């Protein structure tokens, strides 16, 4: 698991298919080591603070291996950081990554907190109203890290697994439960049992639990 690209960008007004949005989704590769703090990388930010950013979503991660799939779906060659991710990582998959897993890259220590939820800004960027559903249905969502220990990192660094969460709730499992198996009380409880689950997903799954009863 290698960081193929470390991407940052401050929010600004972007125009997608005639629609102007204030967003930080259009990130660019960063040169040299960057500092990673508890709220994310230096020179990086988000436009929608209600749905993005914060301690639980400090770093957005996406697999480089998913790019060919989306290039086929979208009918275009994708640019770097096509999904607005901070880290584009090779040889990583949502089936193998579990909520609560702890990784090191550079001198930073991070923990998986939740799957990434596709948003309207991503759909607007590619002019596809169906992209939110396509991403959710595909399971190729990416995920977020919270920062346990601040540090420095750069492109080319390895993502090293330091501790596997013993509950083994994969990002894929959480995605399937949230998007497709919303009445499965046992699955909901399994996800809620992970202490590392982000506050926003705890709330979402508590709501699912009430509706599943």
The C-alpha atoms of residue 47 and residue 203 are separated, in whole angstroms, by 23
Q: Give the pLDDT means over successive 10-residue stretches in the chain (213 positions).
A: 94 90 92 92 81 86 97 94 96 96 96 93 91 94 97 93 97 96 93 96 92 74
C-beta separation of 44 from 27 below 8 A: yes
Q: What is the pLDDT of residue 213?
A: 66
Q: What is the pLDDT of residue 201?
A: 95
Strands, E assignment, the chain = 3-8, 12-16, 19-23, 28-29, 34-37, 40-41, 59-63, 87-89, 102-105, 108-115, 143-149, 151-153, 160-163
The C-alpha atoms of residue 60 and residue 63 are separated, in whole angstroms, by 10
pTM of structure: 0.92
Q: What is the pLDDT of residue 160?
A: 96
Report the first-to-last Cα separation within the chain, whole angstroms. Answer: 40
Q: What is the pLDDT of residue 101?
A: 98
Does the domain made of 3-165 have the CATH classification 2.40.33.20?
Answer: yes
């Amino acid at each position: 698991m290698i960081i193929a690209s470390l991407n940052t960008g401050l929010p600004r007004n972007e125009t997608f298919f005639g629609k102007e949005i204030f967003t930080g989704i259009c990130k660019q590769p960063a040169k040299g080591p960057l500092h990673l703090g508890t709220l994310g990388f230096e020179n990086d930010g988000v436009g929608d603070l209600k749905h993005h950013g914060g301690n639980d979503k400090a770093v957005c991660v996406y697999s480089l291996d998913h790019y060919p799939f989306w290039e086929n779906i979208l009918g275009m060659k994708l640019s770097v950081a096509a999904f607005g991710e901070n880290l584009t990582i090779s040889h990583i998959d949502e089936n193998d990554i579990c909520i609560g897993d702890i990784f090191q890259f550079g001198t930073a220590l991070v923990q998986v907190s939740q799957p990434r939820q596709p948003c309207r800004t991503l759909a607007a960027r590619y002019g596809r109203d169906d992209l939110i559903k396509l991403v959710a249905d595909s399971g190729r969502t990416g995920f977020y890290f919270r920062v346990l220990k601040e540090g420095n990192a750069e492109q080319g660094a390895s993502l090293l697994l330091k501790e596997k969460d013993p509950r083994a709730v994969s990002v894929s499992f959480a995605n399937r439960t949230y998007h497709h198996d919303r009445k499965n009380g046992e699955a909901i409880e399994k996800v809620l049992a992970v202490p590392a689950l982000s506050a926003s997903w705890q709330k979402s799954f508590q709501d699912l639990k009430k509706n599943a009863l």
